[in-house]
A and B are shown apart, each in its own frame.
Chain A
């Protein structure tokens, strides 16, 4: 089986879970004998020898004629001129860049298909959905769409971009099969996007967890107080402000607790301000971006990991924390919770209850130890091999029609 997978990024250049997901999924699929042409914007230094990387940019289309480009031709020309001048890949704004990628991508897929004969096309999220739909039309091959998160998730339902919602609606309608990363996602697609339930399959993510199984202890770093961790993008979707509010409540009972807020995002200034307003600025550490190789350490020195997301279709960081042996308090809105027994679930807005559970974990060794013993049992339900098997199953189903 040969497929065209339309991605956006791959490690080491990742801004979110999508790149990591594609990296591990393609690797596991390749091991199952699936031949993959992976499309993405040009990026130097990406290594994925198990598949054929296709970088989507103007040079890939240099054999095509301006007439094929239609009204975009001039835009692209200008864009590439600017690019040479400034030396940055995206001089247009982000959305233009996505548009341009999708536009080019579909055309390259169409051309390659003449030689490569793809069995199907697989795209991920809104960011490659337009290319997916377009490729389907141009090649007549079936389309599989994986939904990792929707615009409602990313904006915590507050101000979704209609433009992106439209792309998502189109994708949900046009795809022959949709892979949802949780039952919660499936439900959302049915209820909010009017998806046909019959074509949705749930395939849970997995995580590459070996590097998280460290022996590091916080005492090695001279930390003796209890540590509670938030790790994620500092955006409204991830609910970092609920973490700070819960921190305030925890400190009422456990005054020497420390709170780490790891990650970057547009909410950082607001959060720093908020920690001052709450009067807990001396107990909260904002670490900024933590490089991947340091990540295992930050989980390992934490006594509790909190995921207070307003909306979280999956929540891979929970698995990372669990692999580090760190008990988790997670939002009920996290899809990963559907399969987990050994974690504590809370409503993200119920900061009192969040604090109640954090305190219990910090106070009672029996609770921590019992949860720790169960973690490996929970983690066994997640593996890339299993995810690849199930994805392959969706492909086969798709080809049978």
Chain B
């Protein structure tokens, strides 16, 4: 019987406030771009509806199964910062630390800012953000992550190869037919061009049964009960069933009244009773040998029906913003101004691009649903985002000019100092 690898994605972006080209200048640029009240509101709502109750259930599950139940998380850097900054965040963070202390929970590595830096031509920024995240996870939860999952499981051969070079044991991505062909996602594979790292693929059907269809009345299997679900898992062939979903599945995508929490309470016990065992990400790649090679020369992700990056880079609006930000790297870094660098990175969070999606306005509904400002569509979000990007660009210009002037002024003094030594 295959084992079960359960993995949840936890993320909150710093959403932009209303930022007109006629904004009043604020010395605190972070306040100027990002709306604390708005973000705190989203955070508190999600904490109340999802993070706190779900963490409590997971902790109970671990205790009641005496550690047989195991889960893995990827928690973004921006989420952790919100825990540190916002009211009620401390409690949320504590509950995650509680989970970590059981030893049954593993934390994965991704970009600190949940960005698309993995798609930049220059690879430096991407790995800097990954490193920043790795350090943050170590600082908060005490252990350096060993398995890599990129933003929205965006994956290609290059990313996998680079992950191997950076000593990761495993990497996660989507298990979709147009990549797998006749092969099953329930096995561990080797990315093309790699020797050690293993790739673990999402079983999207079984994942979406919970993540997407759980409360869908149109679904023939509605309502989904824990024993029905376990019977499906038991019937699977392969090494491992990889269930990846957004953490907000619990309590937000499916609200409390749908019975999602009861499902989460019963599912692990039912599974264990039926002889399924749970593994964390590292345990999964450790236990199983790769059965074959996966060759993905294009960008794969778990988003939308296309499973590509078109949710973030599907139109000209998105490309324009993405390219603007990518093109600023050298200028930003040359200022050696850590505040500007941080703001630049906060603007790279992929959610900002997601709000600009114009894919057929009908299925764009999913995207609209996530727009941080009521009544704002892709055009309004583009204008706002671009205004902030352009403003930051001006700030960077200013800083580099000032930096240049400072250098010119200070140079003779430095020479004197050296001369004295």
- Could you list which residues of chain A lie within 8 angstroms of chain B, going by C-beta atoms? 249, 253, 341-342, 344, 352-353, 355-357, 359-360, 364, 366-367, 369-371, 374
Contacts and interface: CB of A to CB of B under 8 A. Distances in A.
23 contacts: A249-B22, A253-B21, A341-B361, A342-B379, A344-B380, A344-B383, A352-B20, A355-B21, A356-B383, A356-B387, A360-B21, A360-B383, A364-B320, A364-B386, A366-B316, A366-B319, A366-B382, A367-B317, A367-B386, A370-B358, A370-B379, A371-B379, A374-B358
A355 B317 contact: no
Interface SS of chain A: helix
A336 B26 CA distance: 38
B20 A366 contact: no
B311 to A, nearest CB: 16
Contacts of B387: 356, 360
B315 interface: yes
Given A253-B21, A359-B21, A370 B315 contact: yes
Contacts of A253: 21
A392 to B, nearest CB: 29
Interface in B356-370: 358, 361
Nearest to A327: B379
Contacts of B319: 366
A253 B390 CA distance: 13
B21 A356 contact: yes
Contacts of B380: 344
A359 B320 CA distance: 16
B377 interface: yes
Given A253-B21, A364-B320, 8 more contacts: A344-B380, A344-B383, A356-B383, A366-B317, A366-B320, A367-B382, A370-B379, A371-B379
Interface residues of B, number: 18
B324 to A, nearest CB: 10
Contacts of A342: 379
Contact of B379 (A249, A344, A359): A344
B377 A341 contact: yes
Contacts of B358: 370, 374
Given A341-B361, A360-B387, A367 B22 contact: no
Contacts of B21: 253, 355-356, 359-360
Contacts of A341: 361, 377
A366 B377 CA distance: 15
A344 B20 CA distance: 14
Nearest to A355: B22
Contacts of A366: 316-317, 319-320, 382
A267 B283 CA distance: 77
Contacts of A357: 383
Interface string B118-140: 00000000000000000000000
A254 to B, nearest CB: 10
Interface string B140-172: 000000000000000000000000000000000
B354 to A, nearest CB: 16
A367 B379 contact: yes
Nearest to B316: A366
Contacts of B386: 360, 364, 367
A366 B358 CA distance: 13
A391 to B, nearest CB: 27
Nearest to B364: A341
Contacts of B378: 370
Contacts of A364: 320, 382, 386
Contacts of A374: 358
Interface in B265-318: 315-317
A377 B22 CA distance: 32
A249 B22 CA distance: 9
